[in-house]
Amino acid sequence: MKIGIIAGNRFLPILIAQKIRAREDVPELVAVCFRGETSPAIRRYVDRCYWLRVGALGALREVMEKEGLKEWIMAGQINPMHIFRKRNWDIELKKLTKKISDFRPHCIFYEIIKYLEKSGIKFLELVPYLEEEMAREGVMNSLELQPETEEDIQFGLNVVRHFVELDVGQTAVVKKKSVVALESLEGTDRTIIRGGSLAGRNCVIFKFCKKKQDLRFDVPVVGEKTLKYLKRVGASALVLEADRVIILNKQDFLKKTEKSNIAVIGKRKN
């Protein structure tokens, strides 16, 4: 058995490789990595690495054909700003996207997936490998919520359930029943920083996803870097969509948030 990982940035690709390796039927693992995005540490967890530049769709397809590998997992983000750096795209990707008018990151990835699926490639969901890392409903660390935090959470839930369906972003920042920041192309971390710089300490941060999120390539994730910015802005709580958001190194993350007096709560939109 052989599985391929299309590895983006941060820790998620490494975690996926570790989870797959931990299974009894240890498969052969192949990774397609991207210069300037993927951590070189992934080499320790896979049998082979192919290093490509972002936008090299033709080279990606050639690797898939060379390996004769039909099952792939997409793990980790690719900086969405590459969408505006088309000079780095190869002819194959430029041709594929020539007729696309919607350049939101997930739309580009969806077109790439459809294109590769025509060659018999199957993209697997991450979730079955990461059940233990999922956010769960309720307060996940041992902190007691303050009344004003609970009020902001109830207010923010109503905002975020509508916001995510606009397909603009996944993160919202709320304080004193005011929407301080909504995510766009800059990503979660910069949204947290922007919200904190505007409203100061004790903001509540939300991260949710839309109902029809394609979990093959667009899974919301929080981790060590998220925690760094939560601490920097003095957030009072992080509210995650239950059973839809991955917490990297979950137990360690929850211990550290508790130590920093940041409540972590799982909520459902409905």
3-state secondary structure of 9: coil
Q: At which of 104, 124, 144 does a domain end?
A: 124
- Looking at residue 86, its pLDDT comes to 65
- Looking at residue 127, its pLDDT comes to 83
The CATH number assigned to the domain holding 217 equals 3.40.140.80
The CATH number assigned to the domain holding 9 equals 3.40.50.20
Question: Is residue 70 domain-shared with residue 138, that is, in the same domain?
Answer: no
Question: Is residue 76 domain-shared with residue 194, that is, in the same domain?
Answer: no
Q: What is the bridge-based pairing of β-strands 28-34 and 48-52?
A: parallel
> With contact defined as beta carbons under 8 Å apart, do 263 and 238 qualify?
yes
Question: Is residue 59 domain-shared with residue 114, that is, in the same domain?
Answer: yes
Question: Is residue 110 domain-shared with residue 178, that is, in the same domain?
Answer: no
Strand partners, 175: 178
Q: At which of 98, 124, 150 does a domain end?
A: 124
The pLDDT tens digits along the chain (270 residues) read 788 999 988 889 999 999 888 876 767 899 999 998 999 999 999 999 999 998 899 999 999 999 998 999 999 888 777 666 667 788 998 898 887 787 777 788 888 889 999 989 999 888 888 889 999 999 999 999 999 999 999 999 999 999 998 888 899 999 999 999 999 888 899 999 999 999 999 999 999 998 877 777 778 899 999 999 999 999 999 999 999 999 999 999 999 999 999 999 999 987
For residue 51, give every residue at least 6 positions away whose Cβ sits within 8 Å of its Cβ, in sequence order, or none.
33, 34, 35, 38
- Looking at residue 202, its pLDDT comes to 96
Question: Is residue 151 domain-shared with residue 206, that is, in the same domain?
Answer: yes
Question: Is residue 103 domain-shared with residue 156, that is, in the same domain?
Answer: no
Q: At which of 105, 124, 143 does a domain end?
A: 124
Q: How far is CA 213 from CA 80, 116, 166, in A?
A: 17, 19, 12
Question: Is residue 106 domain-shared with residue 17, that is, in the same domain?
Answer: yes
- Furthest C-alpha separation in the chain: 58
Question: Is residue 95 domain-shared with residue 143, that is, in the same domain?
Answer: no
- Looking at residue 84, its pLDDT comes to 66
**Overall number of domains in the chain:** 2
- Structural domain harbouring 156: 133-267
User: What is the rounded distance in angstroms from the CA atom of residue 53 to the CA atom of residue 32?
Assistant: 10
Question: Is residue 120 domain-shared with residue 154, that is, in the same domain?
Answer: no
Give the Cα-Cα-Cα angle 5, 92, 103 (nearest 5 degrees): 80
